[in-house]
Amino acid sequence: MKPRALVVGLGIAGMSSAISLKKNGWEPIIVERAPERRTGGYFIGLNDIGKEAAEKLGVTAGIHVRTPENSENWHLTGDGSRVRVAGFADQPTKPATLLRGDIEAGLWQAVDGQIEVRFATTPIEIAEGGERVHVRLRHADEAETEETFDLVVGADGLRSTVRKMVFGPHEEFMHSLNAIICAYQLSGQIETFRPRDGIILNDGPRSLYVFPLQDHTPTALFSYRTDDIDAQFKKPPVETLREAYKDMKSSGIVDEALSDLERAGKNYLFDSVHEVRMPKWHKGRVVLVGDSAWCLTLYSGVGASMAMKGGYELGEAVSVTKGDVATGLAKWEETLRPMVKKELRLVWFKSQIFVPTNGFMFIVRRLVLRLGGRYIAKLSQGPGAAA
């Protein structure tokens, strides 16, 4: 009989974990709080770690990459002039750019019809007993059932239900960066810019990034610092953002982007920014993967890649140890922790590129963007131009 694993969460980390577990002889069951699978989403990147994990999971062919060709990125200054700067895809590592939903769609092809998925279902009690984990589940009709598993995987995001029930309250592990983000798809490109143009506006501790995509409309990312996180959720996001950006010189771009947000319905992410730092990601036969365990924030640019890597390595680790789950989870954590630790060290600096915390970092941000833009411009002139 195959060992059973309960995977909580149908996102990138959850599906990656379930696919890898299935490939390694487990019977995974995914439960998802939402009534249906989400689609679309905001701009993200996929670096070499993520690309390798996708290949090993066998989902590369199903992931639609949208890195724009011949893209140019522009910093809009206060007087309305444009300065060529480096964009996300211009990094030396050449990450693929796409929507979050593009990765999830590729993973879903390996899940749909092959792994059991239960929508509108959440765990309400998790208790270990001997060599099994006893889980009480609540379903859409409010009915409750009890089942036992050999492993429980919490892949249910920043405010993980599994983490709260098994490891402790959120405040023990969530560390605020005193920032707010709002990410969503625009209905079309900002007026006066080409479809493949990226746009960066910044004014002290607030910014608006417009990320271009191939064969798709751009996505917007508002980001700003605040010392009063709770106050940012007392009004609808559009009203909160209009207040936060009301005096920003943007040549009408902020208003144009916010008009799109008004029409976005529920298809946006508006949230505070937190890292998750934990001394241990597993406890008994319960393990956390992705944002539940090590949220690197949207600023990192590697969250999706590390979620896929973590999920893939989990299935491999518990397979190699042949039923010794404790040893497998320890080996898995030993493999992942150095990589996550490295990325967590970089989060603070990366956040400064979006929303600097002081005047010095504002200057650093401007230098990073503009020097990168000059280098890209020289590269476009032909071989040897950047030397």
Distances (CA, A) of 282 to 173, 195, 286, 308: 14, 45, 6, 18
CB 210 within 8 A of CB 187: no
CB 56, CB 312: distance < 8 Å = yes
pLDDT tens digits, one per residue of 241-290 = 999 999 999 999 999 999 999 998 888 999 999 999 999 999 999 999 99
pLDDT at 130 over 90: no
* pTM for this predicted structure: 0.93
Runs of H (alpha helix) within the chain: 12-23, 48-57, 100-111, 161-166, 237-244, 253-262, 291-294, 303-320, 325-354, 359-379
Read off the pLDDT of residues 21-50 as tens digits, 9 standing for 90 and up: 999 999 999 999 999 998 888 999 999 999
Rounded to an integer, what distance in angstroms lies between the CA atom of residue 292 and that of residue 269? 17
pLDDT score recorded for residue 24: 96
Strands 282-283 and 268-276 turn out to be unpaired
Give the amino acid at 15: M
Q: Which domains does the chain have, with CATH numbers?
A: 4-45+99-174+275-350 (3.50.50.60), 72-97+180-273+361-379 (3.30.9)
- Lowest-pLDDT range of 175-179, 184-188, 231-235, 262-266: 262-266
* Contact yes or no for 71/83 (Cβ under 8 A): no
The pLDDT score that the predictor gives to residue 366 is 79
DSSP 8-class letter at 155: -
Q: Residue length, the chain?
A: 387
